[in-house]
Chains A and B, each alone.
Chain A
């Protein structure tokens, strides 16, 4: 077929695709364009010229290993829904436009990760695109009858490359938002997928059933060929290990190749499409592979040995004079090339513009407020990148096309792309993975892959120096690039994959564990790892999700604003929004309002934090705070500030946490006090009630017993009323509402009054109470209150001194401007660990395992309040060991 005719066919075919794309774009919501089949078929962009031509080449020369490229995805597809659903969800929420974008998002919107991933992708994919051009060029020359051209401007491949670039530029850059779906483009990819499959099946059937008499016929004829066994079995255990790693390699590729990420994530229009794809796509791959071996064997049987086995698919019909069938094969191959090149360059151009050019330098140029011009500029950047990429690939092809097969370039691309796998996959499920670790892993892995795979290749091609490969650099055996550390039984690709992954994964894990990422990074990680729970968050118009108890929020506000202000503010709020104040659930408006209210007191970030702690019970989650800060971020400059703030925030969080703990402790104490009071009140009440019930129900009760029960009731009632009085007293004293009725009194007189009050009891117990007053002094005090203190001290002593020879001594002396009173007894004394606490209300000794109030627990607390109201102090003399000695110091004047 003459050159110009063939070029005309190509142009015609491209035009047809273009028209189809335009049509689909217009009908993007129609059933024909927006459906799961289109999505599933578009995934088949995976099958490039490598599949279409390369598989046959491998099947004819190396045997079964071509299948690994497809078995990886087969293993991956059941996991597809689980992994991709998460990725798709996050990508849609954050307008992710490429895998570089996604990974930089996961590691805290880390710019350098985005750039690094972009770099890795370009290095991997550019040769891969070159390989597609090589396939087009070679099939073109097989099919055409024209002269092989040596000059650039007459080389048809160059024009095909330019045509493809125009095609991508037209379709890929229609909108600025690269995360938007391009339904037209996806539709053409799906159509091409269908075309290449159908055409490949046609040639498969033609070969198997027209050229031969079915599969058994081919097999029987092949059995006579030397080395056939090598093609259908594994020869040794090494090749099975190789098999295993190759499957792992393609497993990663199906997720990570930029073009796969583009079609499966970015162009995904509905998460439900994933379901159909997860069985349609492996079926597609299966159909594609069924005839590969028969075409390969037919080629071996029928074609001359010096023809390139990669193109048996094309040679077979041509050698049998089937020109039309040959053209069909060519178009099928062209389809696989076009879709691969188009999607890859599109994905790469987006990455390069969004993750390299824009953030590193070009962002400033976009700062003026002219959205239209900015959009045009971004589009132009992308278009230039697209052309640069395709022309770059073309030159790569020109320089490297010598000996590499389709298969090996493809595999090198896979190994390089696989360097993203640890940071991508582990990062999806492990929130500890950090940006630093990701970078270290990727770079070290890439370095190893470069050294063990690319460097020897460059050395061979450019330096024509095979010493480097066969003897190692400087003759060091251990560093031989294909046999690192003497690992000598793996083929180069597997070997490189193995070592690079070992270093990549280990560095990633170790660095992640060694050094925590900053808070911002951790929060993004949290967001990705727990994508499911954050999904709902975004669907709310508010940056807040979950349920908040109104009373909880109120508590927080009260802590910082006080009760009065809180109540007033909430009243206004409820009236303003016409909300029923009795409603228990707070909504987003209340949360926002409370935050604003608090902001004045503790700053925006911590306000968010405090409210967040009651809303979600997870005070550390700062994603919301972060989002708000993020939205305000205008330039990269803000990043530095953000880091400072993150430090401040941490400190603040700690302070708040401490304050919070203290409050909780106080609350607990308050609760304990109330518990004790309740218990103290309930016990005598229960006793009274029980006794009364018993008396009421027993008419036949003996009179003495009845008397006893009645006495008990009286005692319990007394106990109750004393307790109530004490509690009221304490409440009055501690709130400062009780005013001391101070008059001038004789201290000696008051002490004697106190002694008289307990005299009867002391006499009964046989206790001697002695008063030693050196000199009398008149003081200003509330006599009733002071008397209450003295009586309390005396009756406590009475309780603890031994019967018969108990002794209580009251001493008084003047020490400078103080009167010092001491009340000492020869009782059992106060345990040293209790001394600090006996003045606390209802304090009960710790060495009693059980908290059981004795009813007097409140007396010392009251005494302390009274003495303090007189500007005095009361304490226990720790030196005194023969009993207890209480000291009261009152100021003279």
Chain B
């Protein structure tokens, strides 16, 4: 795997640490729901989902 792809993945991991932690998650700390899913959960699931998509794209591009 090329260095550049590795760097992309490292940046993704750093981004996830930031997005999934204080203080950013506190922004979504509200007792409401989207389609019956609480906002905080929705936010986490969305970040989670996008991290999968981005990882997939980075790896596919490399291959």
Contact = CB atoms under 8 A, between A and B. Distances in A.
Nearest to B13: A78
Contacts of A228: 31
- Most chain B CB within 10 A, of A78, A85, A228, A247, is at A78
A282 B52 contact: yes
A283 interface: yes
Contacts of B17: 75
Nearest to A282: B52
Interface string B45-63: 1001101100110010011
Given A71-B48, A282-B55, A85 B1 contact: yes
Contacts of A233: 29-31, 38, 40
A275 B55 CA distance: 9
Contacts of B31: 228-229, 232-233
Given A79-B13, A275-B59, A74 B29 contact: no
Contacts of A442: none
B10 A279 contact: no
A76 B44 contact: no
Contacts of A75: 13, 16-17, 20
Interface in A68-95: 71, 74-79, 81-82, 85
Contacts of A705: none
Interface in A240-256: 240-241, 243-244, 247
A214 B37 CA distance: 10
A284 to B, nearest CB: 10
Interface string A845-879: 00000000000000000000000000000000000
A217 interface: yes
A74 B45 CA distance: 11
A64 interface: yes
A64 B49 CA distance: 17
A293 B41 contact: yes
Interface residues of B, number: 35
A283 B26 CA distance: 24
A214 B30 contact: no
B21 to A, nearest CB: 5
Contacts of B52: 279, 282-283, 286
A49 to B, nearest CB: 23
Interface in B1-23: 1, 6, 9-10, 12-13, 16-17, 20-22
Given A219-B36, A282-B55, A82 B48 contact: no
A234 B26 contact: yes
B55 A82 contact: no
A116 B50 CA distance: 40
A555 B51 CA distance: 57
A82 B22 contact: no
Contact of A279 (B39, B40, B56, B62): B56
A67 B44 contact: yes
Given A219-B33, A244-B22, A232 B38 contact: yes
B10 A71 contact: no
Contact of B21 (A247, A283, A290): A247
B10 A82 contact: yes
Contacts of A275: 59, 62-63
Contacts of B51: 74, 77-78, 282
A278 B35 CA distance: 29
A290 B55 contact: no
Nearest to A231: B38
B57 to A, nearest CB: 9
Contacts of A215: 35-37
A244 B41 CA distance: 16
Given A82-B10, A85-B1, A286 B49 contact: yes
A218 interface: yes
A288 to B, nearest CB: 11
B9 to A, nearest CB: 4
Given A74-B16, A232-B31, A282-B48, A79 B40 contact: no
Contact of A243 (B22, B30, B33, B62): B22
Contacts of B44: 67, 71
Nearest to A228: B31
Contacts of A85: 1
Contacts of B26: 234, 240
A226 to B, nearest CB: 13
Interface string A54-75: 0000000000100100010011
Contacts of A241: 22
A81 B36 contact: no
B39 to A, nearest CB: 8
A286 B9 contact: no
Contact of A79 (B9, B29, B39, B48): B9
A75 B36 CA distance: 26
Contact of A286 (B12, B36, B45, B62): B45
B20 A64 contact: no
Contacts of A78: 9-10, 12-13, 16, 51, 55
A216 interface: yes
A331 B61 CA distance: 39
A240 B22 contact: yes
A247 B25 CA distance: 13
Contact of A278 (B21, B33, B55): B55
Given A75-B16, A240-B25, A214 B36 contact: yes
Given A67-B44, A75-B13, A279 B36 contact: no
A244 B36 contact: no
Contacts of B38: 219, 232-233, 293
A214 B16 CA distance: 30
A244 B20 CA distance: 8
B63 to A, nearest CB: 7
B9 A217 contact: no
B48 A217 contact: no
A233 B52 CA distance: 24
B54 to A, nearest CB: 8
Contacts of B48: 71, 74, 282, 286
Nearest to B1: A81
Nearest to A235: B29
A237 B29 CA distance: 11
A85 to B, nearest CB: 7
B55 A244 contact: no
A216 B13 contact: no
A76 B20 contact: no
A290 B37 CA distance: 10
Interface in A273-312: 275-276, 278-279, 282-283, 286, 289-290, 293
Interface of A: 64, 67, 71, 74-79, 81-82, 85, 214-220, 228-229, 232-234, 237, 240-241, 243-244, 247, 275-276, 278-279, 282-283, 286, 289-290, 293
Given A75-B16, A81-B9, 16 more contacts: A74-B20, A74-B48, A74-B51, A75-B13, A81-B6, A216-B36, A229-B31, A234-B40, A243-B25, A244-B22, A247-B21, A275-B59, A279-B55, A279-B59, A286-B45, A286-B52
16 contacts: A71-B20, A78-B9, A78-B12, A78-B13, A81-B9, A82-B6, A82-B9, A85-B1, A243-B22, A247-B20, A275-B59, A278-B9, A282-B55, A286-B45, A286-B49, A290-B45
Nearest first, the 3 closest Cβ-Cβ pairs linking A and B are A215-B36, A216-B36, A232-B38
